[in-house]
Chain A
Amino acid sequence: MFVINCPYCGERDQSEFSCGGEAHIVRPKQPTELSDDEWAEYLFMRKNIKGVQFERWNHAHGCRKWFNMVRDTSNDKIYAVYKMGEKPPVI
């Protein structure tokens, strides 16, 4: 449990948010041309990093907007919060 600095609402309790998992997984441009392996990679395979991870969050019980966050999953320390579409910071 931790406090998240929502880029739209400011600091709120983590329980107001829901996590959307790993960020920057790009949806395939030509889905019809993908092999089964490529689909599996896109849909299911995850880095599941122990350490600094880029992830998507949604302020579900607040502004309901999506944004990105950089967090160390080994200690829940948050390094950066940035809006969708913005360039990920270098950590």
Chain B
Amino acid sequence: MKNKYSIFSLIKNAFSQHENWKQAWGNPEPKKEYEAVIVGGGGHGLATAYYLAKKHNMKNIAVLEKGWIGGGNTGRNTTIIRSNYLWDASAGLYDHALKIWENLSQELNYNIMFSQRGVMNLAHNLQDVRDLKRRTHANRLNGIDAVWLDTKQVKEFCPIINISQDIRYPVLGGTLQRRAGTARHDAVAWGYARGADTMGVDIIQNCEVKGIKRNGDQVEGLDTTKGFIKTKKIGVVAAGHSSVIANMAGLKLPLESKPLQALVSEPVKPIIDTVVMSNAVHAYVSQSDKGELVIGAGTDAYISYTQRGSHDVVEGTLKAILELYPIFSRMKMLRQWGGIVDICPDASPIISKTNIKGLYFNCGWGTGGFKATPGSGDLFAHTIANDEPHKLNAAFNLNRFVSGDLVDEHGAAAVAH
């Protein structure tokens, strides 16, 4: 790596007031032709380019980003990472990602602040209890760590939770995945960008795709705001805007794009040292290293690309948060924002070839794509390089909506996951 970060480089740069750090990635103009072009410079897209260069020896790659890298959903999520999914296919996919997360800072030589602080999922009714217990068993059969906690153990693990049994959604127990946790979302995008750039990938920001050129069944290139770019392989990782790109190629996807909101509070001293999720009441909370509570809310129930979200959704989430954590009743919320998530009918992603040669889609991550970033990039790179899916993403093909072989994770994850 051209500019390795270490304690020595830190000390050396301290002598020059940290003014001589080299740029972590370049700002090139697009070339006329690339071996592969990735559309979308979020975590998933940058990771795809990184693994294409690293594992599949493709050097002439570009990542096109219409805004700035990591400015979409990568910078808008609540940074939760876990792999405790019900079905075998999902467990394989998300645990593959979790295993990469565990060594990612070292691999990228970039501190992504991965913190395995555990993720606890609460049960609020009898059906939740049954579903979560079943999921715990399924996880353990798949080699994923998971334990069931009763109400008292939940309280021990996270003392600020209100376990009173006469509230609207009483805590009847929960599951805990200790290997799960959080990572710094921006750092993930920046780390992958730096890694990809070092291997010669062109990261082109402020470059929006306007059209896809096809010759019969084969893609030929892309029209962009920076001119035409010739390529035989296009990997689309455009999250909420996947359908917009698909429509350019004359393709329809089984997706609906909806705003998903999150918000953060004013920073306070450490009060919650884990991640607590409550699917039934749409409330997710953790605390950032800066001390802000990071709260995830639900999606708006209609298609919209507005990146803001409705007030009533936030209100519903905060009501649930206050009931579960009365200690937060006088906290002030600092910022609220929305990201556009692309939701599949079965709440599972698509990492797939299409019936157009050279056009690949990685989309449908819905409300829970951040946790899969490294695994998604790795498997999508494999799919693009070999023109065949890896065995871990074979089930997540586009054809499952024709065959009916869906990976229905709604039951396991309720709404957001």
Contacts and interface: CB of A to CB of B under 8 A. Distances in A.
Contact of A47 (B252, B312, B404): B252
Contacts of A1: 300, 310-312
Contact of B303 (A18, A37, A44, A55): A55
A53 B304 CA distance: 10
B301 interface: yes
B302 A47 contact: no
B304 A44 contact: no
Contacts of B244: 48, 50
A27 B416 CA distance: 30
B403 A73 contact: no
B83 interface: no
Given A40-B402, A44-B254, A45-B254, A73 B305 contact: yes
Contact of A36 (B252, B312, B345, B403): B403
Contacts of B243: 46-50
Max chain B CB contacts within 10 Å: which of A1, A37, A55?
A1
A50 B254 contact: no
Could you say which interface size class chain B belongs to? 20 to 34
A49 B243 CA distance: 7
B312 A15 contact: yes
A interface majority secondary structure = mixed
A56 to B, nearest CB: 10
B285 to A, nearest CB: 23
Interface string A14-44: 1100110100000000000000110111011
B335 to A, nearest CB: 18
A18 B401 contact: no
B255 interface: yes
A60 to B, nearest CB: 10
Contact of A74 (B301, B306, B310, B312): B306
Contacts of A49: 243, 247, 303
Contacts of A37: 402
B256 A46 contact: yes
B253 A46 contact: yes
Max chain A CB contacts within 10 Å: which of B241, B303, B401?
B303
B401 A40 contact: yes
Interface in B264-303: 300-303
B305 A74 contact: yes
Interface residues of A, number: 25
Interface in A42-72: 43-50, 53, 55
Given A36-B403, A40-B401, A46 B306 contact: no
A46 B312 contact: no
B257 interface: yes
Contact of B255 (A40, A48, A55, A73): A48
Contacts of B241: 50
Contacts of B257: 48, 50, 73
B401 A44 contact: yes
Nearest to A45: B252
Contacts of A74: 305-306
Nearest to B252: A45
Nearest to A16: B312
A21 B305 contact: no
A44 B306 contact: no
Nearest to A21: B256
Interface in A70-91: 73-76
A49 B311 CA distance: 23
A25 to B, nearest CB: 11
Contacts of A19: 301-303
A46 B70 CA distance: 27
B407 to A, nearest CB: 14
Interface string B376-407: 00000000000000000000000001111000
23 contacts: A1-B300, A1-B311, A1-B312, A14-B302, A14-B310, A18-B301, A21-B256, A36-B404, A40-B254, A43-B401, A44-B254, A45-B253, A45-B401, A46-B243, A46-B255, A47-B247, A48-B243, A48-B256, A48-B257, A49-B247, A55-B302, A73-B257, A76-B304
Given A48-B303, A50-B243, 13 more contacts: A1-B300, A15-B312, A40-B254, A46-B252, A46-B253, A46-B256, A48-B256, A48-B257, A49-B243, A50-B257, A55-B302, A73-B257, A75-B306
